[in-house]
């Protein structure tokens, strides 16, 4: 914990706040966190596409209502209300307190109507997207890589990349299932990290990078056991 001491001292000296860790939304002291906007995003955002096309664009950037998926609306009336809200935001591309309050009202309406979807299904879906999505966002590949008719080569490459990712997860978890030394601590860390990621509004695959040292160790254990059995059978 020693590295956090000078950081906390610096924040107290410069900003006059006790902040040993970065704030949840990486905001400066006094900067608005826009809770209504955050809550509304949580009621429909499911994958990295909405993170890139919506979450990162506000404030100070335009929001394309045409890019909203069907799950962002529960009724034609709610669709009209949402489009009107986005149009008002696009007027000056700022989340004012009044606009944030309207986002909050819309989010509460959607959560009240579908609590299971908002509080359980969507968080689990975002976790699955962060863990199993092909990790191609930093490659020169279209964000919507699955649209085969637009770029079939990128679609095929991304799917193969996704299979490689699944292979790491499968081998890593198989290794942990063999209960090697310290396995409860490794498994416990994965569980705690997943619980944290369930609170994320906008998914990004980089949040699961911390999984891979453990998954690689587990994969090595699984392969060592597998090869040991193969060689033992060959010797017999």
Mean pLDDT along residues 23-40: 90
Cα distances (Å, whole numbers) of residue 161 to 66, 134, 136, 141, 168: 29, 5, 8, 12, 11
- pTM flag (> 0.75): yes
pLDDT range class, residue 147, cuts 50, 70, 90: confident
Please list, in sequence order, all residues whose beta carbon lies within 8 angstroms of the beta carbon of residue 126, skipping any fewer than 6 positions away. 45, 46, 47, 197, 198, 200, 203
Mean pLDDT along residues 94-123: 96
Q: Across all residues in the chain, what is the average pLDDT?
A: 92
Mean pLDDT along residues 123-138: 94
Cα distances (Å, whole numbers) of residue 79 to 57, 58, 106: 20, 19, 10
pLDDT of residue 91: 92
Percent of the chain with pLDDT over 90: 78
* pLDDT over 90 (residue 21): no
Q: Is the peptide bond before 105 cis (omega within 30 degrees of 0)?
A: no
pLDDT range class, residue 234, cuts 50, 70, 90: low
Task: Tell me the per-residue pLDDT of 181-228, one tens digit each, with 9 for 90 and over.
Answer: 999 999 999 999 999 999 999 999 999 999 999 999 999 999 998 887
Tokens of 62: 């335009």
Determine contact, residues 212/189, Cβ cutoff 8 Å: no
pLDDT of residue 30: 81
* pLDDT over 90 (residue 138): no
Determine contact, residues 41/201, Cβ cutoff 8 Å: yes
Nearest one of 165, 162, 205 to 47, comparing CA atoms: 205
Mean pLDDT along residues 156-183: 94
Mean pLDDT along residues 37-57: 95
What are the domain boundaries of the chain? 32-113, 124-236
């Amino acid at each position: 914990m020693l590295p956090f001491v000078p950081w906390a001292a610096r924040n107290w000296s410069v900003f006059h706040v006790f902040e040993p860790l970065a704030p949840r939304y990486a905001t400066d002291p006094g900067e608005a966190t826009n809770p209504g906007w955050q809550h509304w995003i949580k009621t429909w955002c499911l994958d990295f596409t909405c993170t890139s096309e919506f979450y990162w664009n506000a404030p100070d950037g335009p929001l394309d209502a045409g890019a909203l998926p069907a799950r962002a609306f529960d009724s034609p009336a709610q669709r009209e209300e949402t489009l009107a809200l986005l149009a008002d935001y696009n007027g000056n591309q700022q989340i004012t307190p009044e606009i944030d309050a309207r986002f909050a009202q819309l989010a509460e309406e959607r959560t009240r109507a579908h609590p299971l979807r908002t509080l359980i299904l969507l968080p689990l879906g975002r976790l699955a997207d962060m863990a199993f999505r092909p990790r191609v966002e930093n490659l020169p590949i279209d964000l919507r890589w699955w649209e085969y008719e637009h770029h079939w080569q990128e679609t095929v490459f991304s799917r193969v990349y996704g299979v490689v990712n699944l292979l790491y997860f499968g081998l890593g978890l198989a290794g942990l299932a063999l209960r090697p030394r310290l396995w409860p601590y490794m498994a416990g860390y994965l569980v705690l990290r997943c619980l944290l990621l369930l609170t994320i509004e906008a998914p990004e695959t980089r949040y699961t990078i911390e999984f891979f040292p453990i998954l690689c160790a587990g994969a090595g254990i699984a392969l060592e056991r597998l090869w040991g059995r193969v060689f033992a059978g060959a010797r017999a």
